[in-house]
Amino acid sequence: MYKKLRSVNLCDPHNPNPDPIAVTFRKARQTSKQTTDYLLCSDCEGILDRMGERHVLPLLANETGFPLYDLLMRIPPNISEPGLVVYSCGNIPSLDCGELAHFATGIFWKAAVHPWRSGAFTVKIDLQGHEEDLREYLLGMKPFPNDLALILRVAPPSVPLLSAVAPITVRDPNFNMHWFYVPGIEFSLHVGEQAALQFREGCFAHNPGHPVFVDPTVALTLGKLYRESFVTAEKSTRLAAALERRRSGE
């Protein structure tokens, strides 16, 4: 993901640094440092790679297109209403829906079983005891848990969304919802029996049609999160100088 978010336009005088801008509520900086830690053995990392990551990464939005969106556009939508367009990924022979579900589950599981620290920021979510069930699902030992719902929303490529958001938690009186974003796709995981019932039909893992929602509000959600974070964040000296050069047109 970090490689995908590095600028390839190195000749841009306003962007001599190709590194992505990392933003938290506390600080914003342009950096090549990644959020990493020692957690899994090479065999387990290989499972996550072979069964999800290597297949999904080429489908993400990039500076020249959005391969997953292009695949969706080759089939008619199951539902097409104002504000609601749903496609069945099960109708795309070249798309392995199990790999998409495995990729998303692997990200959520890693965010739950280990705290990932990057400076003063820590990525850690609470799956309320489902960590073991998801571990066994990732190993192919169990099906996707019945009291979880995985939802996929795709952002139309009319607005480039070349960014990524690490897993975060959204609190609700009835259930917890965790979500993360990679270029073009928002994954959300709804936890609890009530959540599973409410979102069962739209669950990418449980519904045999593997529904994907094409939703322009994904851009609004990400834009709001970015603005709220960026405005309050302390800008690094190098980033502040680059922003000033851009504003002044130097």
What's residue 241's pLDDT? 75
- Quickly tell me which residue has 């069945």 as its tokens: 88
Instruction: Give domain limits for the chain.
Output: 65-231
Q: Is there a contact between 150 and 101 (Cβ–Cβ < 8 Å)? A: yes
**Of residues 121, 88, 221, the one with CA closest to residue 161:** 221
- Asked whether 73 and 67 are in contact (CB, 8 A), the reply is no
Amino acid sitting at position 128: Q
Whether the model clears a pTM of 0.85, i.e. scores above it, the answer is yes
The amino acid at residue 141 is: M
120 three-state secondary structure:
coil
Structure tokens, 57: 């990464």
CA atoms of 88 and 72, how far apart (whole Å)? 8
**Looking at the DSSP assignment, which residues form a beta bridge with residue 22?**
29
Residue 91: predicted pLDDT = 95
Backbone angles phi, psi at 117, to 5 degrees: -100, 135
Mean pLDDT by 10 residues, the chain (250 residues): 72 67 82 87 95 95 91 95 92 95 98 87 90 96 95 84 88 81 95 85 95 90 82 80 69
pLDDT digits 0-9 by tens, 28-41: 888 888 888 999 99
Rounded to an integer, what distance in angstroms lies between the CA atom of residue 127 and that of residue 113? Answer: 9
State the pLDDT at residue 171.
Answer: 75
β-partners of residue 171 are: 176
DSSP state of 53: I
